[in-house]
A and B are shown apart, each in its own frame.
Chain A
Amino acid sequence: MSTTRHPGLNLGPHHGKADDTAEVEVFGFWVFMMSDAIIFGLLMATYVVMSGNLNGGPGPRELFELRPVFIETMLLLFSSLTFGFAQIGMKYHPHPARMIIWLLVSIALALIFVGMEVNDFITMAGKGGVPQASGFLSSFYALVPLHGIHVTAACIWAFAILGQIAVYGLDDEVKTGMLRLGILWHFLDIVWIGIFSIVYIGGLA
């Protein structure tokens, strides 16, 4: 049935039914990502509009530290790379071992990212950078933690896929699930690049 290919990793005909159904599911997930992209885009625009409303509170220079944020960026980028390894493992190796290992590495990198990010927020709060302090901080906390929540949700999804592998092995649903999770995973990377550029670099420039 499926002769069209979708953007991103394609499974190939030797995956049988998973390859057939992947096209529709992946297309649907791309469409979902588009609407999610609108949410992040609007929150970024709102942040840009609000970034001058300091209300006498602390501004970006008092609150942001580039070093941990840069490390976080690297963590997220590398987790995208390792997630790609997991997907390639799934595509070319009939046994899930390779895929599981790379998936665990990706989850670990993403969770360290979330942990560091929470630490950033705590540090900021210690300097008076709480969302209630100003419009600037409100829009910051509406945008950045939402990305963190997305990353956390993606990790939970990854754990759910590991659970499904434990129960059913590397079956069709796991495969198409991995394709969709992959799109989310890389998408969150792109969103983070946006946040890193607009919020952190922009704020400190």
Chain B
Amino acid sequence: MSDLWSLIFGRLTLDALPVMEIIHATNGRELASGIVGTAAAGLAVLGALYLLYALTKYRLWGPVWRNWLTSVDHKKIGIMYIVLALVMLARALAEAFVMRTQQVLGDGGGGLVSNEHFAQLFSTHGTIMIFFMAMPFLTGLINYVMPLQIGARDVAFPTMNSVSLGFTAAGAVLLMISLVLQPFSTGGWTGYPPFTEAAFNPGPGPDYWIWAVTLSGIGTTLSGINFVVTIYKFRCDGMKLMDMPLFCWTSLCTSILMIFALPPLTVATGLLALDRYFGFHMFTNGGGGNMMNFANLFWLFGHPEVYILILPAFGVYSEVFSTFSSKTLYGYTALVIATMCIAVLSFTVWVHHFFTMGQSANLNAIFGIATMLIGIPTGVKIYDWMLTMYRGRVRMAVPMVYAVAFLILFTIGGLSGILLANPSLDYVMHNTLFLVAHFHNMLIPGLLFGMLAGYTLWFPKAFGFILDPKWGYRAAYLWIAGFVFAFFPLYGLGFLGMPRRMAEYFNGAWFPLTIVALLGAVLIIAAFACLCIQLYVSIRDREALAVPMGDPWDSRTLEWAVPAPAPEWNFPATPEVEGRDAFATLKEGGYDLRAPDDGYHDIEMPRNSALGPVLMVSSTAMAFGLVWYMWWLAALGAVVCFAATVAYGFRRDTHHIIKAADVKAEWEAFCALADTTPRIPRSLEQTTQNMGHAIPASEEIIS
């Protein structure tokens, strides 16, 4: 019996179910911990079951398969990425809330969850926020916006784009499974050996981490290649590199970082897997291993990674400041050069993540100085954004609220970073909550606010209606307040010497600040709730909020030149542009709605492909098999992955034609709608009067 069981299920037993923590509980805290875990797993299972039920009940399997899962349209893939990001954000926020509660209750011992459970929480929270919230969010935004901004019809390799999404989703699914079939790794999001080696951590936890991170890493590498080729090869006529919107520039630099920084991650996790599965001695304590290699490899990825995360947000902010100040971006060239400098410098500083691990003082000094240098181009950017607002007609729309909060809060975070970049100070602070406060200070106002600003900015382009501004403001202000209350106390706790990742402590001086931080977490949960309500309200009122003309903010770049939602073929004919702010120039000349110069032509678009979803399912199966030693499943998944890829090479009929007449009809209907749609001044842009037909800035009478 047990032989058969282990043949089929490997090392998976009923003990993996979180409910076993309740059954085996010996005290109140373990009981509470089990209840928390079981509730979370229950929610995940119920969510999945409800999804399956709803898809079946409303007969959506066919449409979802045809219109979404197998779609290779960059716009739909972008939307799916962002949906994934928001779902994972919900889970990671809930985990953050539990952790903050634990640190309040952990004063004098005790608390809500067991130490083991707490360690899993900070590991999944970090892993999810980086790899399955931030990365999908920015990849989704780039996917949706960048091809439109450069006047392209799609990315360079549309099917590979769907495959990238498949790998990212596979990693996310693996993480969701780990909620139900436990445990996850306790090694933090960085998974440092030798702690994650088989000798100390023989269970499935670190394996979940390895495969989830590796799968998403492969997906990200492929995305980077796709975006780079798209930007280099598919810009429309007349758009020189130095004419590209800044979001495209940051997308380009991010993509280059993805291509060069993700392979070190793959190497690090791959070698760790060799250690764990085959008894290699890459990073082990004994046997001639050397864990410092892991630290170097991981942070050779990890530091550029923070710029992969932040650069697209910088791009979003550039668009936001320019759009909502009705001005061309100040210091465009400086911003481009600063972006490139940041991209290069990001590879030269990784050692600052382990100043205390025993290299020489000179080396630490060099890397400390290199780290501080990044402040220079970043400072240039901050000034450029402020000068973009200067003498502009600034409107504090929702994206602008995020952007202004970012300017202030991000600068504070940068200053704390300069402190940490000093090796002698880092010796004191590196493993305290000061560090946690610092990187959340960079990543929440920097990355997350940027993503939310971009979500609000481009939502109408994707769905044809704007997001309800009232709930948008509530969410934005709650995010800002929540961030301040949740993370500024952590700077204080860091100064008081409270180590990070601490489940229980016996220093009463820390207690008051942990309560403030918990309050901040409550505000952040409320902010997320506002975002959900906003989405619900906006969908409910979508008729009133509709902006079919597609230019609700009087924007300046090409993606706003087409109807909202953007048609499958993006542009009736590939545009020809001159200079920066291509759409603003077109609007000023009154050319934004004219027919293509040399008439309409048939458009060739790529056909749907099942390769992405097939690879997603088979790679999830392979990884799940590897985690639980279900070798048959791992082998089956690998074979299907491989066979599907080879079979894809035999596909020939890969394109379909959209008739010129259809494009013409659709575009002319859009132009006709323009004649009957009133133009609105910018003061009305967040009202229901906004039909996406803005009065160009140059024509608006300033009252």
Contacts and interface: CB of A to CB of B under 8 A. Distances in A.
A55 B229 contact: no
Contacts of A161: 649
Interface in B321-351: none
A6 to B, nearest CB: 11
A159 to B, nearest CB: 9
Contact of A38 (B264, B278, B282, B288): B264
Given A34-B259, A160-B649, A135 B281 contact: yes
A67 B602 CA distance: 61
Interface in A38-65: 38-39, 42-43, 46, 49-50, 53-55, 57
Contacts of A163: 650
Query: Which of B226, B275, B281 has the largest count of A CB atoms less than 10 A from its CB?
Result: B281
A16 B275 CA distance: 50
Given A36-B263, A50-B290, 6 more contacts: A24-B229, A27-B229, A50-B282, A53-B288, A55-B287, A136-B288
B289 interface: yes
B271 A49 contact: no
Contacts of B224: 35
B280 A42 contact: no
B281 A134 contact: yes
Interface in B229-270: 229, 232-233, 259-260, 262-264, 266-267, 270
B641 to A, nearest CB: 12
B275 to A, nearest CB: 8
12 contacts: A28-B157, A38-B260, A39-B266, A46-B267, A46-B282, A46-B293, A46-B297, A55-B281, A136-B288, A138-B275, A141-B274, A160-B649
B650 A39 contact: no
A173 B652 contact: yes
A28 B278 contact: no
Contacts of A34: 259-260
Contact of A28 (B156, B281, B290, B293): B156
A156 B643 CA distance: 11
A111 interface: no
B263 A24 contact: no
Nearest to A173: B652
A43 B280 CA distance: 14
A26 B597 CA distance: 32
A132 B280 contact: yes
A135 B288 contact: yes
B71 interface: no
A132 B263 contact: no
Contacts of A156: 646
A53 to B, nearest CB: 3
B280 A35 contact: no
Interface of B is mostly: helix
Interface string A8-44: 0000000000000001100110011011101100110
B371 interface: no
B530 interface: no
Given A39-B263, A142-B274, A49 B280 contact: no
B297 A55 contact: no
Closest CB pairs A-B (n = 6) = A135-B288, A53-B288, A55-B288, A38-B263, A138-B280, A134-B288
Interface in B146-161: 156-157
Contacts of B156: 24, 28
Interface in A153-186: 156, 160-161, 163-164, 167-168, 171, 173, 177
B221 interface: yes
Contacts of A36: 263
Interface of B: 156-157, 221, 224-226, 228-229, 232-233, 259-260, 262-264, 266-267, 270-271, 274-275, 278-282, 286-290, 293, 297, 300, 646, 649-650, 652
B281 A132 contact: yes
Given A35-B225, A160-B649, A167-B650, A139 B263 contact: no
Interface residues of A, number: 40
Contacts of B274: 131, 138, 141-142
A105 B46 CA distance: 57
B297 A42 contact: yes
Contact of A132 (B270, B278, B290, B293): B278
Contacts of B229: 24, 27-28, 31
A164 B649 contact: yes
A39 B225 contact: no
B297 A35 contact: no
B288 A164 contact: no
A32 B293 CA distance: 24
A177 B649 contact: yes
A164 B289 CA distance: 46
B263 A134 contact: no
A50 B284 CA distance: 12
Contact of B280 (A54, A142, A173): A142
A138 B289 contact: yes
B264 A139 contact: no
Contacts of A139: 282
Given A50-B288, A50-B290, A53-B290, A31 B233 contact: no
A163 B232 CA distance: 33
Contacts of A160: 646, 649-650
B288 A35 contact: no
A120 B156 CA distance: 42
Nearest to A163: B650
Given A42-B263, A49-B293, A27 B232 contact: yes
A54 B288 contact: yes
Contacts of A31: 225, 228-229, 259
Nearest to A139: B282
B544 to A, nearest CB: 44
Contact of B267 (A23, A43, A133): A43
Contacts of B293: 46, 49-50
A134 B281 CA distance: 6
A149 to B, nearest CB: 12
B260 A135 contact: no
B282 A135 contact: yes
B652 A168 contact: yes
A35 B275 CA distance: 23
B280 A131 contact: yes
Contacts of A131: 274, 278-281
A131 B284 CA distance: 13
Contact of B271 (A23, A46, A54, A168): A46
Contacts of B233: 23-24, 27
A188 to B, nearest CB: 16
A135 B289 contact: yes
B282 A142 contact: yes
B301 to A, nearest CB: 10
Contacts of A54: 288
Contacts of B264: 38, 42
Nearest to A136: B288
Nearest to B264: A42
Contacts of B652: 168, 171, 173
B289 A53 contact: yes
Contacts of B297: 42, 46
Given A163-B650, A171-B652, A138 B267 contact: no
Contacts of B270: 142
A81 B233 CA distance: 31
A141 B297 CA distance: 18
A32 B287 CA distance: 35
A35 B287 contact: no
A32 B229 CA distance: 10
Nearest to B646: A160
A1 to B, nearest CB: 10
Contacts of B282: 46, 50, 135, 138-139, 142
Contacts of A46: 267, 271, 282, 293, 297
A186 B271 CA distance: 26
B259 A138 contact: no
A37 to B, nearest CB: 9
Contacts of A167: 650
A43 B271 CA distance: 9
